[in-house]
Structure 1
Amino acid sequence: MTTSLNRFLCLLFVAAALALSGCASTPSADGATFVVVRHAEKATDDPEDPQLSEAGLRRAQRLAEVLADAPVVAIYATEFKRTRQTAQPTADRRHIPVDTYFSRGPAAESAARWRRDHDHGTVLIVGHSNTVPDLVAALSGQPATPMPETEYDRLTRIHVGADGRVRVEITRY
């Protein structure tokens, strides 16, 4: 009787361990949230690839504060200094790298890759006034409002549920 009981308990333990290990790699039922912003205010130090201004550096810190409680799993910025500097405070808080995407690449291709690669957590994407609306539209499947050159504070959250439903929320930061 003891051998049968031990065998049963061992099988029960193995089954529970396998079930729990499967849970660790299973995506969240909540889905993924893509946070898309334009880079913060830029300086005038370089007409081709300027850094952030003092105001821009403060806004980048504010972005990190806004996302402090979000489960950020990835960060993407274009090849330009200003987008990388906007993303960096969030990356520093999370100890994750800022991955580069090509600013002039097709928004639909980038969005498809991000949606394929990230089915849970929060993904920060930093772009430009002329690319953010296309990225938002490609990620959400909904039209996006154009962004004027003077707008730096729009933060768009695109939540893609595990069921595929999309919810878009626009705030300011």
Structure 2
Amino acid sequence: MLLVNNSGEISMRHRKSGFLALVTSLLLLAGCGMLGLGPINATEATIFLVRHAEKETGADPVLTEAGEARAERLGALMDEVGVDYVFSSDTRRTRATAAPTAEAEGLEVVIYDLDQMEEFAEDLRGMSGTILVLGHSNTTPVLAAMLTGRDEGPLFDEADYESLFRVEINALGEALAFQMSYDALEEYAD
């Protein structure tokens, strides 16, 4: 209700309180998603950055028996999470690690170029949904750092097949990386 003083002017006190009420209401509506904007910190993309599973030796090796079992476990976990896209570098070990997830989700494995990592990171930052990216001990932490703009720690040890990253990117483009294990991924998937 507007209050008018004796000279026919709207009371300044009520104009200020009306303006504050309007601003507060708009902020609450935006926070609740009623304007179609969603919460400001809503996750737009969840990107799982995973090193390939255990491999044989030699040039462009295949997975070991333990590696095949890990790839199947990853596929089952990612199926519980639900994946929209699967990316892999162009090696037999990464493609074989990605295959069970792609099959479970009915997706094609999209190959990315390791020589174009910055462009690939920028492409990922523009995507939404849940994304699985298979890489290597020396590329996975680097890609996490490219996505977040922060140092995400040292390269994975050559014997470490258990570590992976989950990168969350919100609607403002802010990204956080969480280093986790397959066991932590299993808890996340539940």
d(CA) in 1 for partners of 2:78 and 2:104? 10
Residue of structure 2 in register with 1:162 after alignment: 171
RMSD of Structure 2 on Structure 1 (CA): 1.4
TM-score in terms of structure 1 length: 0.77
Superimposed CA distance per residue, residues 130-160 of structure 1 (whole angstroms, 9 cap, x where no aligned partner): 1111111111212122211111111200000
Structure 2: distance between partners of 1:130 and 1:79: 15
Q: 1:90 aligns with which of 95, 98, 101?
A: 101
Give the CA deviation at 1:121: 1.2
Q: Give the total of aligned pairs.
A: 141
Deviation string 1:46-69 (CA, Å, 9 cap, x unpaired) is: x11100000000111111122122
Correspondence for 1:58 among 69, 74, 77: 69
Query: What's the CA shift for 1:102?
Result: 1.6
Unaligned stretches of 5+ residues in structure 2 = 1-35, 37-41, 183-190
Q: Report the identity percentage.
A: 38
2:46 maps to which of 26, 33, 49: 33
> Partner letter of residue 101 of structure 1?
Y
- The residue that corresponds to 2:125 in the other structure is 115
1:171 deviation in Å? 1.2
Task: Describe the superposition over 1:69-116 as per-residue Cα deviations: whole angstroms up to 9, x where unpaired.
Answer: 22311111111000000000000000100010122x142211001222
Partner of 2:138: 130
Give the Cα separation in 2 of the matches to 1:142 and 1:106.
Answer: 19
Unaligned runs of 5+ in 1: 1-22, 24-28
TM-score by length of 2: 0.70
**Residue range with higher mean Cα deviation, 150-159 or 60-69:** 60-69
Find the aligned partners of 1:66 and 1:172 in 2 and give their Cα distance. 12
Q: How does 1:63-78 map to 2 (within 5 A)?
A: 63-78=74-89
Larger RCO: 1 or 2 (CA < 8 Å, sep 6+)? 1
SS in 2 for 1:87: helix
